Amino acid sequence: MASKLENPLKAMVGNGKKLHIAMFPWLAFGHIIPFIEYSKFLAQKGHKITFISTPKNIDRLPKIPPNLASSITLLKLSLPQVDGLPPNAEATMDVHTDDIPFLKKACDGLEPELTRFLENSVPDLIISDFTSYWLPEITSRLGISLGFFCIFNAWFLCFFGTTDMMVNGTDPRKKPEDFTVPAKWVPFENTVAYRPFEANWMMESGKKNVSGVSDIFRAGKLISGCDFILIRHCREFEGDWLDVMKELHQKPIIPLGLMPPEAHMNRDNQTNDSWVSINTWLESQNKGSVLYIALGSEVALSQNELSELALGLELSCVPFFWVLRKPAGSKNPIDLPEGFEERIEGRGLIWKSWAPQLNILSHESVGGFLTHCGWSSTIEGLMLGHPLIMLPFLVDQGLNARVLVDKKVGLEVPRDELNGSYSSNSVAETVKLIMVEDEGKIYKEKAKEMSRIFADRELHQKYLENSI
C-alpha cells in the first residue's frame, strides 16, 4: 500500500497540484480542534478540504477565517440513533464517560454515508482518527490514500506495542500488573507505565465493548491499513519515541510539531461578559500567585474526589481559579463541602461554565496549573511556562504525567496506588510546594525552560511545512 502514497500523491504534491483532502476526526472536541487547525493550515497552502463530522459538532466549531471559507467545506453526516446513547448526544462532551462506547457504535453507523461521499467525490486523501477501523477497506477499493492523525503523543501509541499486537491481540501482557512496568520493546530507560489504579483502563481498552470491537483493535486496524501516520509530537521533546513508533508500525511517521495554539486566538472573548468578570478578578490578584485548575470536559469526579480537592485547595491558602463544570451525563451534582465557597471568598473563584483557558493561562497573575494532563492542556500550560500539578484520570493522562514528572516541570498529587484516592492534605502540600515554597522553584524554572520548545512557533510551523 505504501507505493500508492509514494507514487501519485507524492508526485502530485511535487508538481504543485492542489489536493482534495477529507478530514474525519473522532467525535470529541479534543480531537476535532487539532483536526480543524490542521485543515486550516492545509487550506492556506491551497488544498481543498472537506471537514466531516455530525451537524451539532460542525455547528459548535470555531468560525472558519473568511479567507479560508471557500477552501473548507463542512460536511454534516447524521449520527444514527443507538440504544444507550442519550438523544442529541454527538460528542464525548455530551455523554458520561461510561457511555462513550455507545458513541463509538453510533460513529460506526456513519460508514454508509461516508462511503457514499468518498465514492462520489473521490478525494486524493482522507485523514482519519483512530476510531474508523472500517475505513482502510473502503479507501483501498477506491484508490484513495489514507493517513492516520494521532492527536496523542508518541509514547502513548508506543505503549500499545506493534500493529500485530493491537489487531490480533498478541500483546503478551494479560494482567493489570503487566501494564504497571515500562514496555519491554522500548530500547531506552523510561517510566512510561500505568499505576495499579490506572491499569484497569488499559485492560478495558483491549476488550470488546458494545460497539463490537475494542479501542486497541480500532487503532491497530486503521494503522495497519493507512499509508502514513501524522502525530502531534516533535523531535525536540522526547523525540526518541518517534523512532520506536516507526519500528513498531513500519509506516512513515510525520510529526506535526506540538501545534501550540495562538496565545491570542481567543481575542473574541475579550469583550465577552464572562471574560470581563474573570479578568477583573485576576487583575485583583498578585502576579504569579494564582493556581488555575481545570480537569478537562470528560473527567467526572466522585463526590469524595471533589470534596478532597476542594478542601485541599482551601488548606493550601493559595489563591485559585477553578473551572468546575458538571460533565454531561454525570449522575453526581456539584456538591462542594458545606461553607466552602463562603470560606474561600475573595481568595478562590469557582467558575461553573465554560472559561477561556488560554486567556486565563496567559494572564500574569497565574503562576501554576492543576491539570488532568490531557495532551492539549499540557501543551497550553507548558507553552506559557507554568509548572504543573498533575491529577491524571483517563486514557493517556497517567503516562503523560510520568514523562512530565521526569522532566521536572511539575509534580503528581500523591495517591493511593490501588484505588487512586487522594487526600486534602496531599493536594494542599503539592499545591504549596509548587506555588509558594522554595523547593518549588526548580519546577517553575524547568517549566519556563520547557516553554522555549513548547512556545517556539517557528519550530512547530516548520513541522507543519515539512508535513506537506
Q: Quick check: is 273 catalytic?
A: no
99, 129, 227, 396: which is the annotated catalytic residue? 129
H or E element: which one contains 36?
A: helix 29-44
| DSSP H or E stretch at residue 411 | strand 410-412
Task: For residue 425, give the amino acid letter.
Answer: N
Q: From the CA atom positions of the chain, what is the Rg in Å?
A: 22
Q: In what order do the strands lie in the sheet with 145-150?
A: 72-76, 48-53, 20-24, 125-128, 145-150, 228-231, 253-255
CB count in 10 Å sphere of residue 389: 25
Give me 146's grid cell: 489514507
Cα 400 from Cα 29, distance rounded (Å): 19
307, containing H or E segment? helix 303-316
Is 215 considered catalytic here? no
Closest among 401, 429, 419, 162 to 316, alpha carbons compared: 429
What number of other Cβ atoms are within 10 A of residue 127's Cβ? Answer: 23
- The beta-strand segments (E) located in 27-71 are 48-53
Q: Where in the sequence numbering do the catalytic residues fall?
A: 31, 129
